[in-house]
A and B are shown apart, each in its own frame.
Chain A
């Protein structure tokens, strides 16, 4: 006989969990009591959102499920944003939540929240455990569901009395659910149809998404593209699935995509999406997306097919299995004409910025990160302009090297995700690229990196603005800069602090130091690379604040609702 709590921790071990992120509280005391004696590395976060993002970052960097544990009520509600982030991006996370004792559920008990109700829409599945006998099976099922099909977060809500209940139940083998059977093998007829379409196409393009990374299908993707000479555009979450340095790489498509990628999509006669879900930021105006193309869609999630764009050749299944079957059916081609056209676009309009600008531009700083690390780093980002520039100006050559909240666009994701990534990949350089707005949403988690001696580098691109919102206000709201100024110096007179000369709040260098990390501030271009080198050599958590030009914009840009052929380009 063992307690429900012991059962839970044992089941986590059985599922292969070695790293756990979380924060204790009243309803998880029994679980934490067991944890104290368990051979698991536990990361004590400072806010439960941090725990979910760390588990998420760990999962994205390692390919293994991330696991976190939170208490009932506010613990669980704080975890919601992290679960929603993982749910949108299809990241395997298992979240164990405490719940008030069964007999008190529904009584407005202290720290009670209807956690399964609240998280239903932001998880792949969730459970309220009513009997400890079910725990071994449910935990095993949770990991099975989180990691198979289109992966996603699963929450297991365990009331305190269930954690204390004694049980002799065990579970072994593969969990089976009659309502859950993801399809892995692609339909051979559909694959043959796709092969024929590729073989007869004159102007094909591959759109590679996060599904390629989830399926570990990068090698197959590269083989297919090179064999049939198909240019590849990688979505934000697909970055790294195809090397940005390859001549066939079109880079990112969509709203802030490259000219080459968007033109190729607009002009192709065959678009093959591999594990990409045609997000609205990718497609622009749907009715004018790839207007002349046959659209093929390889996806493990049947509900992703034809969700937003018409699909002519759907292939449901696992990207790796499908590509493996597809490659031998595809003929080797040169496609000189199409590639010449594509290379022309690549040359004509690469991602670019004003290199003569004397102030630091985030684009420049990110290029320096690429140079200093020689491209060998895991980059995490927050959300906004710096995120797009991190996609443009660092070249990703390996899967799982770019970690970002794509679907939900969660500011505050980058720092905890970097900690989770580093916890899973100690031998890699992990750099969080953030903005002055985003970083303030989860700065407290820096302490966790310090405590666990995880030498991550956080680079804050401080432009004194909520930059992406400012850009939209400049472009689409007649420069009415409403509530976007973070730097006191930029504020209207009546919004400024009295007495002291205002300056920037908070002081990020002091913030870093107060959290036990090192803080460096760079204000000149020539200081950027040396600061990065120094930070990487320090072997401890470092925050570098780059004071950047306040009002720069991300280009190219497809205005919201416009078609991909209507790009606004910046300086060329």
Chain B
């Protein structure tokens, strides 16, 4: 067997029957191998009986190829694609609560503007900012606001779509 396997983050997207138990089955196949799902997003598609699951899993290429095949084998999984192999669009939405004072508020707003985010709530001691963008864009923003003390973060998980 080839030894040139590599560990990297895989973005896997699956179309599944919108039924109870399907998510558990999909997640179980991955967690059963001791792999951690870093990001997970589930929602219905244009067909309400079909849901799309998008997840990001760091792991060995070969093992994830096997996982993809086994996901495909599940009766309630309609199709599976490992987008890592092709070019694809990815987006993530976050809500981030940042401690703020009268002094630094404008600085935070300035950064938010640069990143095309939006202040969705502002109180005396904190602000909540909404940001949508590519995963890297979101990560960069989070890095930059770190010094202001992040109080809470809620992330949508990455959603993705192949370009072809």
Contact present for A179 and B66 (CB under 8 Å): no
Does B74 have its Cβ within 8 Å of any Cβ on chain A?
Answer: yes
The answer to whether A120 and B78 touch (CB under 8 A), given A302-B72, A307-B66, is no
Are A121 and B28 touching (Cβ within 8 A)? yes
Q: Known A116-B21, A117-B24; judge A309-B73 contact (CB<8 A).
A: no
Report A-chain residues with C-beta under 8 Å of the C-beta of B75: 124-125, 145, 177, 179-180
| B2 at interface, CB cutoff 8 A | yes
- Is B16 an interface residue, CB under 8 A from the partner? yes
Closest Cβ–Cβ distance, residue A214 to chain B (whole Å): 16
Contact mask for chain A residues 186-201; partner B; CB cutoff 8 A; 1 contact, 0 none: 0000000000000000
Is residue B82 within 8 Å, beta carbon to beta carbon, of the partner chain?
A: no
Q: A302-B69, A303-B66, A303-B69 are in contact. Are A120 and B25 (CB under 8 A)?
A: yes
Choose one: B1, B17, B70, B76; the contact of A303 (CB below 8 Å).
B70
Interface residues of B in 1-50 (CB under 8 A from A): 1-2, 16-17, 20-21, 24-25, 28, 32
* A121–B32 CB distance below 8 A: yes
Whether A179 contacts B77 in the complex (CB less than 8 A), given A117-B24, A303-B66, A303-B70, comes out as: yes
Knowing A179-B17, A179-B77, A309-B1, the reply to whether A120 touches B72 (Cβ < 8 A) is no
Contact at B1–A120, with CB atoms within 8 Å? no
Q: Measured between alpha carbons, how far is A392 from B70 in the docked complex, in Å? A: 34
Minimum distance in angstroms from A311 CB to a CB of chain B: 10
Take A120-B25, A128-B21, A303-B66 as given contacts and tell me if A179 and B74 are in contact as well, using a CB distance cutoff of 8 Å: yes
State whether the Cβ of A280 lies closer than 8 Å to any Cβ in chain B: no
Cβ contact of A120, chosen from B28, B69, B73, B77, cutoff 8 A: B28
Distance of A561 from chain B, by nearest CB (Å): 14
B-side interface mostly: mixed
B-facing residues in A115-165 (Cβ within 8 Å): 116-117, 120-121, 124-126, 128, 145
Residue in chain B with minimal CB distance to A182: B73
Output the least CB separation between A289 and chain B (Å): 9
The reply to whether the CB of A310 lies closer than 8 angstroms to some CB of chain B is yes
Chain A residues whose C-beta falls within 8 Å of the C-beta of B32 in the assembled complex? 121
Classify the secondary structure of A's interface with B: mixed
Q: Cβ of A37 < 8 Å from any Cβ of B?
A: no
Cβ contact within 8 Å between A287 and B1: yes
Interface residues on B, range: 20 to 34
Min CB–CB distance B55 → chain A (angstroms): 17
Scoring B1, B16, B73 by chain A CB atoms within 10 A of each residue's CB, the highest score goes to B73
Contact partners of B76 in chain A: CB under 8 A: 125, 177, 179
**Counting CB contacts under 8 A, is A312 at the interface?**
no
**A120 contacts across to B, CB distance below 8 A:** 21, 24-25, 28
A95 to chain B, nearest CB (A): 16
Identify the closest chain B residue to A305 (Cβ): B69
A310 to B1, CA, bound (A): 6
Question: For residues 53 through 75 of chain B, which have their beta carbon under 8 Å from a beta carbon of chain A?
Answer: 66, 69-70, 72-75
Counting CB contacts under 8 A, is A286 at the interface? Answer: yes
Task: Name which residue of chain B comes closest to A127, CB basis.
Answer: B21
Q: Quick one: given A179-B17, A286-B1, are A303 and B72 in contact (CB under 8 Å)?
A: yes
Give A301-331 as 1s and 0s: 1 = Cβ < 8 Å from B's Cβ atoms: 1110101111000000000000000000000
A310 to B24, CA, bound (A): 31
Please indicate the chain A residues that have their CB under 8 angstroms from the CB of B24 in the complex: 117, 120
| Docked CA distance A116–B25 (Å) | 10
Quick check: is A178 within 8 A (CB to CB) of the other chain?
A: yes
A303 touches B21 (CB 8 A): no
The answer to whether B73 touches A301, judged by C-beta atoms less than 8 angstroms apart, is: yes
Is the beta-carbon distance between B25 and A310 smaller than 8 angstroms?
no
Over the window 167-180 of chain A, the binary record of Cβ atoms lying under 8 Å from chain B Cβ atoms (1 yes, 0 no) is 00000000001111
A178 and B24 CA atoms in complex are apart in Å by 19
Q: Which residue of B lies closest to A126 (CB)?
A: B21
- Cβ of B72: which chain A residues have Cβ within 8 Å of it? 302-303
Which residues of A have CB within 8 Å of B79?
179
Measured CB to CB, the closest approach of chain A to B81, in angstroms, equals: 14
Chain A, Cβ-Cβ closest to B29:
A121
Measured between beta carbons, the chain A residues less than 8 angstroms from B21 are 116, 120, 126, 128
Decide yes or no: A310 and B78 within 8 Å by CB, A121-B32, A128-B21 being known contacts: no
15 intermolecular pairs with C-beta atoms under 8 Å apart: A120-B28, A121-B32, A124-B75, A128-B20, A178-B17, A178-B78, A179-B17, A179-B75, A179-B77, A179-B78, A180-B75, A302-B72, A303-B70, A305-B69, A310-B2
A308-B1, A310-B2 given; name 7 further pairs at CB < 8 Å: A117-B24, A120-B28, A124-B75, A128-B20, A178-B17, A179-B77, A307-B66
